[in-house]
Structure formats: structure tokens, C-alpha cells
């Protein structure tokens, strides 16, 4: 497992495609609840074949929290059976469908841009505690690794911006069957765009960036001339 992927797993503890959500506390009344209501609550998260290491709480106000590592963010239920989650600057996009007391997700995310199977199941107190213990062991083992070169400061913030653009761009191209997409089609407060806003961190500009079907790197240059590359 690469250091980049391990770092991302520490952030949201393994998330992606297709996901299976089983809500804590038993069956949901699908016929009586809106999609927003069905997402609300607490979910135990694990990747396929792995033990759970995260607990997500979808709140009433569009806020999401991973109670295991205290990551916070926002989520939105979009038209056409789609959802959007931004968790500690990680963008997760996908489609959802409901099945009795389950929510099935097909998701795209970064580090690198990819799709991964995940399963969310209803959680007992013991299972929640076990998930937290596994996460702590995971973080401890990662901290002891020899290949832990990680960006900090402005570079980290810029890479987060580029990562969001990469995920949103590839998702948009795939969903719309396009050959390319530009910054203005992905970022903005308008309905249907994936990223509400994106500000420069160190004088870099994102407006001219375009993503093609075969794009594997996004780059920007800071006001001091530093080139920041995000490979995916």
C-alpha cells in the first residue's frame, strides 16, 4: 500500500464504490421518508473485505462527521439520485439507491481518483468501539512507516484543491459522456456544480485548468514560482 493511499485512508478510513449502508437501529420507513431523511443518522463504514474503521454521522444541517477521527464536512443530496460529500477537503461524488434499510452508493473519490467497494452496517456500541480501536492501530502503524513524506502548509491546501477538481472533473466527464471539462463548469455557487467555491492559496490560478478523459496530472504555479503537481 502506498503512503499516499494510506494517508487518504486515515482521513476517511476507506471509502468508495459501490457502498452498502445499513442504518443503525433497524429498518427505515422508505415510503414515508425523503432521501434527505434516510441519509440522516449514524453509519458504520468499512471497505469490502476489511473491518470497519469509521463511523459517519449525517446531520440535520447538511453536516457530516467521522466520529472516529473527528473529520468534519458537508453533504448534499442532489437531483437524479446523486450525492456529494466534502469531508476534510476530500470530495466524494456518486449515485445512491435505496433498498429497504440499506442505501447503495456508487462513488468516485481521490488519492488517486478511483472507485472502491465499501459497506456500511448498523452498529452496536461494541462494534463502534472496535472500529475506533482499529483506526487507532492503523494510524499508529502508518506513523511508524518509513515512506511518510507528506505535504504541509500551502502545498497541502493547493493539493486539496487540485484533488477536488480531479474528482469532480472525471466524474462529470463520465456522467455526461464528454471529452473534457473546464474549471467554470465544475466550480461555482450555481446549482449543478460540484464545488461551491475555490480560492487561491499562494497566488496560484485554477481558472484555466481543463480535464480531459486522459488527463493524469493537474498543475498550478504559485506567485513565488513553485509548481504544484497533483497526479492521479
Q: What are the tens digits of pLDDT across the range 20-68?
A: 455 555 454 445 688 888 888 888 877 777 788 888 888 988 999 988 8
78, 110, 143 - which closes a domain: 143
Domain-ending residue, one of 125, 143, 161: 143
Are 109 and 138 part of one and the same domain? Answer: yes
Q: How confident is the model at residue 17 (pLDDT cuts 50, 70, 90)?
A: very low
Q: Is residue 25 part of a domain?
A: yes
pLDDT-derived band at 16, boundaries 50, 70, 90: very low
Q: What is the pLDDT of residue 183?
A: 97
Question: What pLDDT score was predicted for residue 165?
Answer: 93
**Angle at the Cα of 83 from the Cα atoms of 72 and 113, rounded to 5 degrees:** 75
The two beta strands, 19-22 and 118-121, are parallel
In whole numbers, what is the pLDDT of the chain averaged over residues? 79
pLDDT at 52: 83
For residues 96 and 211, the model is more confident at: 211
Q: Does 148 fall in a domain? A: no
Q: How many separate domains does the chain show?
A: 2
Rounded to an integer, what distance in angstroms lies between the CA atom of residue 161 and that of residue 152?
14
Tens-digit pLDDT profile for residues 146-155: 455 556 689 9
Nearest alpha carbon to residue 161 among 220, 107, 114: 220
How far is it, in rounded angstroms, from Cα 98 to Cα 87?
22
Q: Verify that 132 and 162 share a domain, yes or no.
A: no
Is residue 116 one of the residues assigned to a domain? yes
Q: What CATH number does the domain containing 137 carry?
A: 2.40.128.10
Q: Are residues 104 and 164 in the same domain?
A: no
**Tell me: the pLDDT tens digits for 109-148?**
765 567 776 776 777 889 889 988 888 887 777 655 445 5
Structure confidence at residue 90 (pLDDT) = 76
Amino acid at each position: 500500500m502506498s503512503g499516499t493511499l494510506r494517508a487518504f485512508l486515515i482521513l476517511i478510513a476507506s471509502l468508495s464504490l459501490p457502498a452498502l449502508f445499513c442504518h443503525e437501529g433497524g429498518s427505515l420507513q422508505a415510503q414515508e421518508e425523503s432521501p434527505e431523511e434516510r441519509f440522516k443518522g449514524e453509519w458504520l463504514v468499512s471497505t469490502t473485505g476489511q473491518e470497519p474503521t469509521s463511523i459517519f454521522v449525517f446531520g440535520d444541517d447538511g453536516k457530516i462527521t467521522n466520529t472516529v477521527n473527528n473529520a468534519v464536512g458537508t453533504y448534499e443530496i442532489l437531483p437524479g439520485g446523486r450525492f456529494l460529500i466534502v469531508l476534510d477537503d476530500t470530495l466524494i461524488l456518486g449515485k445512491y439507491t435505496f433498498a429497504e434499510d440499506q442505501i447503495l452508493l456508487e462513488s468516485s473519490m481521490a488519492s488517486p481518483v478511483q472507485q472502491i467497494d465499501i459497506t456500511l452496517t448498523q452498529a452496536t456500541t461494541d462494534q463502534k468501539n472496535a472500529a475506533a480501536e482499529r483506526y487507532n492501530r492503523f494510524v499508529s502503524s502508518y506513523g511508524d512507516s518509513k515512506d511518510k513524506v507528506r505535504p504541509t502548509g500551502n502545498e497541502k491546501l493547493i493539493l486539496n484543491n487540485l484533488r477536488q477538481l480531479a474528482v469532480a472533473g472525471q466524474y462529470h466527464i463520465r456522467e455526461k459522456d464528454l471529452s473534457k471539462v473546464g474549471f467554470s463548469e465544475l466550480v461555482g455557487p450555481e446549482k449543478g456544480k460540484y464545488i461551491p467555491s475555490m480560492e487561491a492559496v499562494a497566488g496560484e490560478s485554477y481558472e484555466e485548468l481543463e480535464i480531459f478523459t486522459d488527463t493524469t496530472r493537474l498543475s498550478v504555479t504559485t506567485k513565488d514560482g513553485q509548481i504544484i503537481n497533483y497526479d492521479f
